[in-house]
Amino acid sequence: MPVNLPTNLLRSFVAIVDTGSMLNASEQVFVTQSALSLQIKRLEELLQKSLFHRDGRRLSLTAAGDLLLDYARKVLALHDEAVSAVTEGRFTGPARVGMVQDFAETMLSGLLAQFADLHPDAQIFARVAGTAELLELLERRELDIALGFAAINDPNAVNRAPMGWFGKAELLRRDIIPLAVLEPPCRFREAAIRALEDSGRSYRIAVETPNLTTLRAAVDAGLGITCRTQIFLKENPLESPLLPPLPQVACILRVAPNLEGATKQLAELTSKTVTSL
């Protein structure tokens, strides 16, 4: 008898690869980390192959996992196409949206709630990553919508916002300013460093993290100041002659070609939400 691979197990497998960790994947497929781990264990048992090398919390694909990945994507795409065809155009998804962390934490729940009201049977895949990675996924047709940051003159801009300094004002009295930044590549990190260097102000990287939640906690704890927009913190940015001015940044929306129906509607909702910020 041939082995049957449940699509929910394949979705979880692909989500882990795409997000890079069990934690991020669990948020995308809406199951706990323990349940996700059990799903992967079940998939490995069905295939009688290990899919991941495990080094603590770090995961990397085995040769079998790498081989399965391409097939899993094809199976899921065909499955979703079949469901859409059989339901006679009633949208069930998936709608694949990607956005940077700033937007995910402030608008993702509201945006997706609106979409769910309009399409209660829809299936949504949300990917949170840096702008460069999101645009790459869009080019590979692994996302329908990508929302991120870019230079102020980017043709895909749907809104523009001033960058600002955020943190404890007392840190500005230090001879060397402590910075809290995201790991590169990061447009805000680059803008902060360039502004300080151009003004001759000494600084040091006090906190470096890949996670916006950790960055916010570091800033709130007074470990360093950072450069973001007011999407990052609702409080007013620091205003001081001790800090150099910062440029504006564009909020960009890129969509895959030939979007239609509900996925096109999600792109329009996203554009309206960002424009109103």
Render pLDDT for 83-110 as a digit per residue (tens, 0 to 9): 666 655 444 457 788 888 888 766 666 7
As a CATH number, domain 88-151+251-277 is 3.40.190.10
Which pLDDT score, from 0 to 100, does residue 23 have? 82
Question: In this structure, what token pair is assigned to residue 69?
Answer: 């990945």
Instruction: List phi, psi (to 5°) of 43.
Output: -65, -40
- Give, in order, the Cα–Cα distances in Å from 211 to each of 19, 52, 129, 252: 13, 24, 10, 21
Q: What is the pLDDT of residue 91?
A: 47
- What CATH architecture does domain 164-246 belong to? 3-Layer(aba) Sandwich (3.40)
Q: Kindly tell me if the per-residue pLDDT of 187 is higher than 50.
A: yes
Percent of the chain at pLDDT above 70? 92
Among 35, 255, 41, 257, which residue's Cα sits nearest to residue 134?
255
Q: Indicate whether 143 pLDDT > 90.
A: no
pLDDT of residue 4: 86
Percentage of the chain exceeding pLDDT 90: 37
The answer to whether residue 215 scores a pLDDT higher than 80 is yes
What pLDDT is stored for residue 59 in this prediction?
83
Mean pLDDT, range 272-277, rounded to an integer: 77
Q: Average pLDDT, stretch 149-157? A: 90
- 86 to 80, 82, 83, 90, 118: CA distances (angstroms): 10, 6, 5, 9, 20
CATH of 1-86, one of 3.40.50.300, 3.40.50.620, 3.30.360.10, 1.10.10.10: 1.10.10.10
pLDDT score of 86: 61
Q: What are the structural domain ranges in the chain?
A: 1-86, 88-151+251-277, 164-246
Write out the two tokens for 202.
């000494």
What mean pLDDT comes out for the span 221-249? 88
Encode pLDDT of 4-39 as tens digits: 888 889 989 998 888 888 888 877 777 788 888 899
